[in-house]
Amino acid sequence: MTEQSNVINGTVEAVVYRNDANSYTILDVYSEERKEVVTVVGIMPFVGEGEAVEVRGEWVFHPEYGKQFRADSFEKRLPQDTNAILKYLSSGIIKGIGPKTAAKIVEKYGAETLDVMSEHPDWIAEFKGITARKALEISEQVRQQTTFYKLFDFCRDRLPMTVALRIHNAYGDKAIEVMKSNPYKLCSEIDGFTFAAADAIAVEGGYDPEGRERVFGATVQVLKLACESGGHAGLPVKTVITEVAELINVDAKNVAEFEKEFALCGEIGYLKREDGALLYLNEFLAAEKAIARQLHHLDGSCVRYDLTDMEAMLRRVEIESGIEFAEQQRKAIFTAAFSGVTVVTGGPGTGKTTIIKALMRIYESMGCDVALAAPTGRAAKRMSEATSHEAKTIHRLLEVEYCDDDGGASFFARNERNLLDEDIIIIDEASMIDMFLLNSLLRAIRPGARFVMIGDCDQLPSVGAGNVLQDIIDSDAFSVVKLTQVFRQGKESLIVTNAHKINHGEKPVLDKHDMDFFFMRRESSESIVNTLTDLCVNRLPKTYGASVFDRIQVITPTKKGGAGTESLNRILQQILNPASAEKAEKKHGEVTFRVCDKVMQVRNNYDLMWLEGGKERFGIYNGDIGVIKKIVDNKSHMVIDFEGREVQYPFDSLADLEHAYAITVHKSQGSEYPIVVMPITDFPPMLMTRNLIYTAVTRAKSMAVLVGRESALMQMVENKQKSVRHTGLKTLLEAVNA
């Protein structure tokens, strides 16, 4: 076998490492052709010593561990001769069978041992120490492995091994049968199982290309993509029909008939609205309906306080704090005290934090418990610093937990069966909350408690699906207070002044050089990037002692292009954290992660564990930023410090990790950075909007530096169009309120 060969055939000599959660495995395999032991790494479930394997992949070289063979796919053959079977069973791969018991069983049944264990558990129960129940468990393990490898054979060249593993976990020995009977069913049930994969299996099975199952699979695909990429809760019926017809090349009239049938049968959600009916994935429609019910129930179940008493308490707070509340602030405080559900919205400098602190003082003086929370760790930390009270992420408030007995699933311990104890729940940065997180939160708030959402409705909507804050405001179903007055401290900040000018479509002040907002005019794309890089690497660190690793954050509207995150991250990584013999690396696709890199989590992962005060906590969330501390290749993980939460981050989750020297404006939501640096150039038209540049500027706490073309900046300021999000929450809230 040559060094370039991409197949290894051999026998497993040892299982060096196995991650039971994701089946990442490191094997020592004796290659029959090479006549030597080869290190093989990859996703390889149920592999044990003594088994014959064929692994397909590629050779890689690790600076510490040397040459390894990285598996892309593999197949194994259960051991056939008695010696191999004995080694296999003695390895511990079958729980409940140790070396001594394995020796006794193999001595009696020889080469037929595995067949006996699978088909005749009662025979295994005859051995000392094996009960009838334990024998059944052993038999099931052997059968599982057999069915799994049949599934793996079926999925080879069709699906990644990780997806095959999810299918096996979901359907067990029925997996192949389910895929053959209706592969499109898996599009809505298995993460990572694409419509293209279903289509390939269906073609082999002779499915009707214009049949019901295929149209349904395509419908799920279209709705999934709309939710994931556009944040939509559902899509207009006509849009779904058009996109499905184009995807599978089927006549739109036939698709329309099927869509009507799907809706009538309840396979696809349907909601009638004044501005056009929507089709939904069922879980999305269920979430919006639940939010509407729960909000109205909360609003109607709270005890109304005497406003005379509230006036006295508010006056006492004014005396104690030395603050005289403005009319809008007083209105917000009284409204939150009188209503079960309240929304307070306003831009920077309008006193939202002052209102939170006043509400806390009033309710605590009444003996009430108050919970402060925000969607992200950074927003919660900022809320804590501003109020001098503990604020939690919403996930932590709901006590996200990890269940080992349910395939590694996570869940919120706080829910309708275990309600939150607090009397008032105050949520900051509410524009960031997506529909599923809000649904989970509302389920956990006890009837009679008050719910206050505070945020800026002019910012970009949540990264996740839905547009809940704007929909709640637009429904007119609940008390809403809009703050417009900018207070003295805000007026002294050009960041605040320009943010409000931008929000009103006015030209921001660009020529003052002695405040906290700077515009550096550059025309060419090259000069924009060069200036931005120089600011981050030289000028800002030299003048202010700031660093991209702590106080400076580059934000940009897009991922692509010369001023996008992908390009800027490559440039900044190369300069700020160059390759070094002392720094381990891990390549994932086209991206190289390196020790000391600044990184961001781009998808909620409730399973990642970290310690706090010696107690296990779970969850690293979309938008969390950290620094890579260590790369442990032989155990297939890296250690990342997410602002004090140290996590062992598995390599198989690297698709959820990006460099964070530069991040998108969307990913910056809910966060505030001492210094924000942003390129301004001709971005794709859908990103040249007022609310995007407004959101970007309001992320800066002490300094905002914009670099680029004034004409591009004004194009964004003058474009008040917002990207449309198709949701039904406003309609549902109005219906319940009617």
**Whole-number percent of the chain with pLDDT over 90:** 45
Q: Find the Cα–Cα–Cα–Cα dihedral 155, 161, 162, 168, rounded to 10°.
A: 50
| Cα→Cα distances 588→125, 324, 362, 585, Å | 47, 56, 52, 10
Q: Which helix (H) or strand (E) holds 38?
A: strand 36-43
- Residue 275, number of CB atoms within 10 A of its CB: 9
The token pair that represents 379 in the structure block? 């927003």
What count of residues does the chain have? 738
H/E element holding 450?
A: strand 450-455
Q: Which two tokens stand for residue 719?
A: 């474009």
pLDDT score of 573:
95
pLDDT at 483: 93
Evaluate if residue 202 carries a pLDDT over 90: no
**What was the pLDDT predicted at 421?**
94
- pLDDT of amino acid 489: 62
- Among all chains, which residue has been given the structure tokens 């396979």? 267
Helix-then-strand count for the chain, H and E: 28, 30
pLDDT of residue 674: 92
Q: Is the pLDDT of residue 5 over 70?
A: no
Strand locations in 522-656 (E) = 552-556, 585-588, 591-594, 598-601, 605-612, 615-620, 625-632, 637-642, 645-650
- 62 pLDDT band (50/70/90 cuts)? low
Q: Is the pLDDT of residue 406 over 60?
A: no
Residue-level pLDDT at 589:
83
Q: Which residue has the tokens 């529909």?
A: 435
* Phi, psi (rounded to 5 degrees) for 599: -135, 160
3-state secondary structure of 396: helix
Q: Rounded mean pLDDT of 473-488?
A: 90
Annotate 489-537 with three-state secondary structure.
HHHCCHHHHHHHHHHCCCCCCCCCCCCCEEEEECCCHHHHHHHHHHHHH
φ and ψ at residue 288, rounded to 5 degrees: -65, -40
Burial class (CB in 10 A: 0-12, 13-18, 19+), 215: buried
What is the spatial distance between Cα 664 and Cα 627, in angstroms, rounded to a whole number? 18
The 10s digit of each residue's pLDDT in 671-715 is 889 999 999 999 999 899 999 999 999 999 999 999 999 999 999
For residue 165, the model assigns a pLDDT of: 78
* pLDDT for res 3: 46
For the stretch 502-527, pLDDT in tens is 999 999 999 988 889 999 999 999 99
Give the pairing type, strands 36-43 and 479-483.
Answer: unpaired
**pLDDT number for residue 441:** 97
Task: Please say whether the beta carbons of 233 and 726 come within 8 A.
Answer: yes
Identify the pLDDT of residue 4.
47
